[in-house]
Structure 1
Amino acid sequence: MPQRRTVTCRSQEPRRRFAEEVRELRERSGVSLRQLAERLGWDWSTLGKLETGHTLGSPEVAQALDRHYGTPGLLLALWELAVGDPTQFRERYRRYMTLEAEAVSLWHYAVANLPGLLQTPEYARELLSAGGLAGGELDAQVEARMGRRELLLADTAPRFRTILSEAVLRTPLRDAKDWRAQLEHLLNIEYRTNVTFHVLLLSAGLHGLSNTNTMFLGGADGQTVAWVETGYSGELVQATTAVEQLQLRYDLLRDSALSPDESRKFVERMLEEAPCEPST
């Protein structure tokens, strides 16, 4: 049997190959690391570490680079190979991320935590740290999550509506100053015409989505899919009947929630009641 030829001179080791591709795509585009960081909203030193192979970053970073360079799926696939365990990033979640980036509307329900699109860096860091991340990987995940917030700030931003269980707002950060900053961020972003939030009081009782974070993603083609998630797994729901059943539960939930104006006043009261940082 003839020996297999090497088709390219690029590395066959996944981690090095990922770094090579990231670096080559940037150099070919003719921009510096700092220019790329400004366009993507990430720290330039983190992007530099991707190019040297010192870190793999997160799947969100890989997907953002794919979108920027017009290489759909290339860097994300190389990232998966570099991570070494394909089960860590399942195909259904990769599909969800693509749909989120392309959605014209996002309808969401939060059980216990604020959605990533509304989190401050401090909130994201404490939440991800509680999930077991630390060090460079924690830093990369926080940066990636902050990058995803840009989705709501773009000129072509999708409509975003979230229903927040009261439990979300009754679970503060350890640092009082950080928690006040998170509440203030929630109030500030609600002023955007594309963002609406409701608060579902605990007194509303049990409902059809009691233990499930849910996101409905409306596409430009008129199709809607749903992403349902618990603390340990997520599932992309694409079957029309199943999505319609989830939407009915969501509509009933919205009927039980406070109006946007009442919800804003609820958060304002929480901000007034939140403890201030002790004076020194």
Structure 2
Amino acid sequence: MPTRRVVTGRSREPRARFAEELRRLRAERGVSLRQVGERLGWDWSLFGKMEKGETLGGPEVVEALDQYYGTPGLLLALWELATNDKTQFRERYRRYMSLEAEATSLWHFAVSVLPGLLQTPGYAREVLAAGGLKGEELTQQVDARMGRRDLLEADDAPPFRTILSEAVLRTPLRDAGEWRRQLEYLAEVGERPNTTLHVLPFSAGRYGLDSTTLMFLRLPDGRTVAYTENAYRGDLIEEARPLDRLQRAYDAVRDMALTPPESRKFVLSLLEEVPCDPST
């Protein structure tokens, strides 16, 4: 598998940032637009328009570029930001997405929804549709979210720890077959050496993060930032004092959670409750 690459562009506007990264990667590879087109099987003029910011292309094109340049998930993350620049992505979330692509380690806590990095296509589609997306836009966003999973699958994938509230796992998808696939994927991911999965059971009682989805990112320069999110807003937090408070709350929740082996058994027990044939 290819190695990850960090975002080095400086443009703040997502569409320009995406185009800038495409130009930089091609210049670094030392190839022409025509050579890229011949290698990937698309008209080379498409890549020229993407590098000029005239078009964003589709997720399948961007995924092919991610593979070609050895940047798993990076370009898709930037593409997702650019395609949503005028809708649901606020400036802080845009910045968070770029930082996520650079992170050397990640710690996560989920209140009600699985993190995008661990979602299957069926899960992502239902969650995004519930948020109002539909049609081609929905399909593109599902494809982009699936591309972000490459962040955890590269040869140098960063360590990722997630704590899932039991409520996350007690809220199944409408389609039992898709829910089974999601639980199977969680059980598989929990076995990876770079991923640690905890379940916080209802029996743990009240806890300090009961209304906050949280992600910590350790960056290449040694800094840690956090992104918190609820139903109404998201905040990127970089100041030391609130970061320290969040870290203490996260550590307390981790101490209350099941161990990774216990958590995997919990997921498998839920899997046993899902019928193999959704019609039965």
Shift in alpha-carbon separation, 1:153–1:69, aligned structure 2, 3 A? closer
- Is the Cα–Cα contact under 8 Å of residues 177 and 277 in structure 1 kept in the other structure? yes
Alignment deviations for residues 233-267 of structure 1 (CA, whole Å, 9 cap, x no partner):
21100001110100000000000000001001111
> Aligned to 1:32, which of 37, 54, 58?
37
Task: Report how far residue 201 of structure 1 moved.
Answer: 0.6
- Is the Cα–Cα contact under 8 Å of residues 163 and 254 in structure 1 kept in the other structure? yes
- Is the Cα–Cα contact under 8 Å of residues 55 and 136 in structure 1 kept in the other structure? no
- Is the Cα–Cα contact under 8 Å of residues 57 and 137 in structure 1 kept in the other structure? no
- Secondary structure of the residue that 2:208 maps to in structure 1? coil
Aligned counterpart, 1:260: 260
Does 1:228 find its partner at 2:233?
A: no
When the two structures are aligned, how many residues end up with a matched partner?
244
Instruction: Name the stretch that deviates more: 189-198 or 28-37.
Output: 28-37
- Is the Cα–Cα contact under 8 Å of residues 226 and 236 in structure 1 kept in the other structure? yes
Task: Report how far residue 91 of structure 1 moved.
Answer: 2.5
Alignment deviations for residues 116-164 of structure 1 (CA, whole Å, 9 cap, x no partner):
0000001100110111100110011000000000000001111000000
Q: CA–CA distance in 2 between the matches of 1:242 and 1:22?
A: 36
Letter in 2 for 1:217: L
Aligned counterpart, 2:249: 249
Q: CA–CA distance in 2 between the matches of 1:268 and 1:258?
A: 14
- Secondary structure of the residue that 1:89 maps to in structure 2? coil
Aligned counterpart, 2:175: 175
- Is the Cα–Cα contact under 8 Å of residues 175 and 278 in structure 2 kept in the other structure? no
Task: Report how far residue 84 of structure 1 moved.
Answer: 7.3
Task: Report how far residue 22 of structure 1 moved.
Answer: 7.4
Q: CA–CA distance in 2 between the matches of 1:263 and 1:180?
A: 17
Task: Report how far residue 279 of structure 1 moved.
Answer: 5.8
Does 1:153 find its partner at 2:158?
A: no
Q: CA–CA distance in 2 between the matches of 1:249 and 1:22?
A: 39
Mapping 1:141-220, distance limit 5 Å: 141-220=141-220
Q: CA–CA distance in 2 between the matches of 1:84 and 1:199?
A: 34
Q: CA–CA distance in 1 between the matches of 2:219 and 2:107?
A: 12
Letter in 2 for 1:32: G
- Is the Cα–Cα contact under 8 Å of residues 57 and 141 in structure 1 kept in the other structure? no
- Is the Cα–Cα contact under 8 Å of residues 225 and 238 in structure 2 kept in the other structure? yes
Instruction: Name the stretch that deviates more: 153-162 or 219-228.
Output: 219-228
- 5+ long unaligned stretches in structure 2: 1-14
Task: Report how far residue 83 of structure 1 moved.
Answer: 6.4
Aligned counterpart, 1:110: 110
Does 1:98 find its partner at 2:98?
A: yes
Shift in alpha-carbon separation, 1:27–1:177, aligned structure 2, 3 A? farther
Task: Report how far residue 176 of structure 1 moved.
Answer: 1.0
Q: CA–CA distance in 1 between the matches of 2:96 and 2:105?
A: 14
- Is the Cα–Cα contact under 8 Å of residues 121 and 142 in structure 2 kept in the other structure? yes
Q: CA–CA distance in 2 between the matches of 1:159 and 1:31?
A: 32
Q: CA–CA distance in 2 between the matches of 1:94 and 1:121?
A: 22
- Is the Cα–Cα contact under 8 Å of residues 177 and 278 in structure 2 kept in the other structure? no
Letter in 2 for 1:167: A
- Is the Cα–Cα contact under 8 Å of residues 213 and 230 in structure 2 kept in the other structure? yes
Q: CA–CA distance in 1 between the matches of 2:227 and 2:252?
A: 18
Percent sequence identity over matched residues?
Answer: 56
- Secondary structure of the residue that 2:36 maps to in structure 1? coil
- Is the Cα–Cα contact under 8 Å of residues 164 and 200 in structure 1 kept in the other structure? yes
Q: CA–CA distance in 2 between the matches of 1:140 and 1:278?
A: 27
- Is the Cα–Cα contact under 8 Å of residues 160 and 195 in structure 1 kept in the other structure? yes
Aligned counterpart, 1:126: 126
CA RMSD of aligned residues (A): 3.7
TM-score for both structures, normalised by structure 1: 0.75
- Secondary structure of the residue that 2:210 maps to in structure 1? coil
- Secondary structure of the residue that 1:161 maps to in structure 2? strand
Structure 1 outlier segments of 4+, above 3 Å: 53-58, 67-70, 82-85
- 5+ long unaligned stretches in structure 1: 1-14, 38-43
